[in-house]
Amino acid sequence: MKIIEGGVCAAKGYKANGIHCGIRANINKKDLALVVSDVMANAAAVYTRNLVKGAPIYVSEDHLKDGRAQAIIVNSGNANTCNADGIEIAKQMTEIAASATGLKSEDFAIASTGVIGQPLNIEPIKNGIDELAKGLSYSGGRYAAEAIMTTDTYAKEAAVEFELGGKTCTIGGMAKGSGMIHPDMATMLVFITTDAAVSSEMLQKAISNDVKKTFNMMSVDGDTSTNDTLVIMANGMAGNAEISAEGEDFDAFMQALNSVTVNLCKMVAGDGEGATKLLECLVSGAKTEEAAKKTAKSIICSSLVKAAMFGSDANWGRVLCAIGYADADVDVDKIDVSFKSKAGTVKVCENGTGIEFSEETAKEVLSEKEIDIVVELNDGSGAATAWGCDLTYDYVRINGDYRS
């Protein structure tokens, strides 16, 4: 497996584009994206567990019931959520896109992101769809990735090459997410494309299993979005024998998929609103994997831990506090904690008790842009990793000014 450049156009047979059509007031920010496969693809998706759901989710669920899709249309700047005509507008978006591309509306997945509760005007989309479709290209992935951004500071893309049955296959993806990131399925929006041949049933199994260890283990602010959507398409153009059951090929596909999703997770977590640091919490030695997951997620979600990391403060007591309320089966008298970065490693806690360490060294370790919080529970073989970011003054500023 090899990491390569690119996103949703890295795999064979995918075109994409992104433009500014007028949904957003800032003409310098793209707000409409389109991804199209040259051929019909198998598809699967996972969505938010928030009871308040964006209208596009209902339309995508309906369109993907047959496990097939050929295109994805996405807008930013407006979530199309809690609107009386939301589903009607979402359906119109797929119909407009279908007309411009010569496809069927039911072969489109759809997603929206942005302000909740604000009616989405269809006119800018109608006016911009021809330009969007005409600009589709095999090198347009970056434009699409830019068009799905909201408060993101950069476009998030990842891709890998791998072998299946002697055929070179590729998986690529793009994501957006900066705030409202505390998902129970995926980050706000993730779109993954592959030229590998994989049945829709195995695609669903792949992403449903993968998100448990990737996007479900990430948090920026503890808020689960109404519009969380992950869609994956597999068009089979790499020419491998279709994966229709578990086995070596499925394992290889899962490994490649996980490489893409972990990279996207890190990008989203590190680009949290106002964030200055990417935090990675590595828990090992738990009685069970579930206990490790609960522990890692509790630490990465702690506002006090996040604030301490912003201040480069080795306040390890906050880590133990977060472990204590994680509702995990943990022996608190066995816990070891260390902080690690490219500046070095400093151990701060052993057997649940503080130990002497250099505050100066700790400050240097925690002043880096990427910080590992390493927790050894010394009670089993369960392990898990979670991702997050520090909590800064800018998070409040960005969200206080979000609609204005």
- CATH number assigned to the domain comprising residue 297: 3.10.20.340
Q: How many domains does the chain have?
A: 2
CA distance 171 to 371: 28
Domain termination residue (choose one: 270, 295, 323): 270
Beta bridge pairs of residue 68 = 42
- Say how far residue 302 (Cα) sits from the centre of its chain: 20
Q: Note whether 296 and 384 are within 8 A (CB).
A: yes
Query: Are the CB atoms for 13 and 237 separated by under 8 Å?
Result: yes
Q: Report the distance separating Cα 210 and Cα 204, nearest Å.
A: 10
The last residue of a domain, from among 220, 237, 270: 270
Residue-level pLDDT at 185? 45
Q: What is the pLDDT of residues 265-301, one digit of tens each?
A: 999 888 877 789 999 999 999 999 999 999 999 999 9
Sign of CA dihedral 93, 156, 19, 101: negative
CA pair distance 157, 155, nearest whole angstrom: 7
Residue 187: active-site member: yes
Per-residue model confidence (pLDDT) at position 177:
81
Q: Give the pLDDT confidence of 5-31 residue by residue, as tens digits.
A: 999 999 999 999 999 999 999 999 999
Residues 266 and 311 in one domain: no
**For each successive 10 residues of the chain (404 residues), what is the average pLDDT?**
97 98 95 98 92 91 98 96 94 98 98 92 98 98 96 94 97 83 64 98 97 87 75 98 98 98 92 87 97 96 94 97 96 98 98 97 97 98 95 81 62
Same domain, 233 and 123: yes
Residue 32 belongs to domain spanning: 2-270
| Same domain, yes or no: 190 and 133 | yes
The reply to whether 266 and 286 lie within a common domain is no
As given in the structure block, the two tokens for residue 237 are 């153009």
Whole-number Å distance between alpha carbons of 110 and 57: 7
User: What sections of 197-329 are H helices per DSSP?
Assistant: 200-213, 248-270, 289-301, 303-310, 316-324
What pLDDT is recorded for position 186? 46
- Are residues 202 and 120 located together in one domain of the fold? yes
CATH classification at residue 65: 3.60.70.12
Annotated catalytic residue within 187, 214, 226, 385: 187
Question: Are 264 and 335 in the same domain?
Answer: no
Whether 112 and 143 share a structural domain: yes
Choosing from 270, 301, 335, the residue where a domain stops is 270
299 and 263 inside one domain? no
pLDDT at 49: 78
CA 93 to chain CA centroid, Å, is 24
75's tokens: 């807008």
- What was the pLDDT predicted at 183? 61
